[in-house]
């Protein structure tokens, strides 16, 4: 697959350190952000990923389709540097996931089944906490909150009291405040109302335009499909790229 590209020759390329998502043009290589080859990952003894090969360019929004248990969540967690690569080769933003997955982490943001929020703190306190751990300014934090529509009245509400969609948006605001370049979203539409979904889609589109690379695992195909630049079927721990679409990205 993708024989014309040799993603692993660029493993030593320096990662794009630019803190702001929208300002990524100084990356010299062909903007290859995610490159996995025959990646196997295990949960316990179960091969959740049974040889995934996939490449993603900068600014793409890739939809991961597939039934429950196909390995979508595991794939996202692996890309976030949370799971070791058992076999195969993988680079993200030029970092080798096999040997330096700790270094990948600051540049990616994962929104999983859990939001990673402190339930007893308010929206503002959560976004501030996550933003300030990476040294974001007050301005950036406020910007992240207003972009995700959790500023204003919601800002001082405790996260425990929020609806699922509001929690999701708070979590995304934390990602923005953290200046993640690769967004790994697991069922981001779940629990959002129609307006929330539109807002989320608009945000994702905007983030992709400004250089963020987005992987979305979703059941809601018609919803996420309209947004995505291409889709990948994940079946039984393997990625099956829809061939005609994948050609288009090269």
Partner 1 sequence: MTTIEPAKAEHDTARQSALPSQRSTATRGTRIIGIVAVVALGWLVAFGLGFSPADRDQDESVRILYVHVPTIWLAYLAFVVTAVSSAMYLFSKKKSLGWDRAAGASAEIGVTFVAVTLAVGAMWGRLTWGVFWQWDARLTTTALLFVTYIGYLAVRRLGGSHEQRAKRSAVLGMIAVVEIPLVHFSVKMWRSLHQEATVANLDGDTKMDGLMLFSLFVGVIAFTLLYVWLMLHRTRSMAMEDLLEERGLDEALAVRRAEAAETATAATSAPPTATMKTGSDS
Partner 2 sequence: MITVACLIAAKDLRVERRSKIVTNQVLPFAGITMVSFAFALDKQNVLDTVAPGLVWLATMFSLLVIVQRTFAIETDDGALDAMRVAGVDPRAIFVGKAMALGFQLLVLEAMLFGAAVIFYGESIPSNNAFGSVVLLVTTMLSATCGLAAVGTLYGGLAAGFKGSETLLPLLTLPAVAPVLIGATKAVESAVGTSGAVVSEGWQWVGLLTLFAVAAVVGGALAFGPLIDD
Q: Which residues bind partner 1 (CB under 8 A)?
A: 1, 38, 40, 42, 44-47, 50-53, 84, 86-87, 233, 235-243
* Residue with Cβ nearer partner 2 (114 or 146): 114
**With CB under 8 A as the contact rule, which of the stretches 6-14, 62-70, 104-112, 205-213 interacts with partner 2?**
104-112
3-state secondary structure of 33: strand
Max Cα–Cα distance, the chain, nearest Å? 52
| Residue 19 touching partner 2 (CB under 8 A) | no
| Residue 51 touching partner 2 (CB under 8 A) | no
φ and ψ at residue 38, rounded to 5 degrees: 50, 45
| Residue 59 touching partner 2 (CB under 8 A) | no
Tell me the CA end-to-end span of the chain in Å, nearest whole number. Answer: 12
Write each residue from 159 to 178 as x if it is in contact with partner 2 (CB under 8 A), else as -, in one continuous string: ---------------x---x
CA 10 – CA 116 distance, rounded (Å) = 32
* Residue with Cβ nearer partner 2 (56 or 175): 175
For the chain, helix (H) and strand (E) counts, in that order, are 8, 10
66 Rama sector, left if φ>0, alpha if ψ -120 to 50, beta otherwise: left
| Residue 117 touching partner 2 (CB under 8 A) | yes
DSSP state of 158: B
* Residue with Cβ nearer partner 2 (89 or 103): 103
* Residue with Cβ nearer partner 1 (20 or 46): 46
């Amino acid at each position: 697959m993708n024989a014309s590209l040799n993603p692993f020759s660029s493993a030593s390329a320096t990662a794009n350190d630019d803190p702001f998502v929208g300002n990524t043009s100084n990356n010299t290589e062909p903007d290859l952000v995610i490159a996995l080859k025959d990646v196997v990952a295990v949960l316990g003894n179960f091969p959740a990923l049974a040889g995934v090969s996939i490449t993603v360019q900068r600014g793409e929004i890739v939809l991961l389709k597939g039934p429950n248990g196909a390995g979508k969540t595991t794939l996202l967690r692996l890309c976030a540097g949370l799971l070791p690569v058992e076999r195969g080769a993988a680079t993200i933003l030029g970092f080798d996931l096999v040997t330096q997955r700790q270094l990948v982490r600051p540049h990616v943001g994962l929104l999983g089944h859990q939001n990673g929020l402190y339930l007893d703190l308010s929206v503002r306190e959560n976004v501030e906490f996550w933003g300030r751990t990476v040294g974001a300014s007050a301005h950036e934090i406020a910007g992240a909150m207003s972009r995700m529509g959790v500023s204003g009245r919601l800002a001082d509400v405790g996260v425990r009291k929020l609806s699922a969609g509001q929690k999701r948006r708070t979590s995304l605001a934390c990602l923005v405040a953290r200046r993640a370049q690769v967004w790994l979203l697991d069922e981001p539409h779940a629990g959002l109302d129609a307006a929330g979904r539109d807002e989320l889609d608009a945000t994702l589109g905007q983030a992709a335009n400004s250089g963020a690379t987005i992987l979305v695992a979703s059941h809601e195909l018609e919803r996420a499909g309209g947004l995505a630049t291409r889709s990948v079927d994940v079946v039984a721990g393997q990625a099956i790229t829809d061939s005609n679409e994948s050609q288009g990205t090269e």
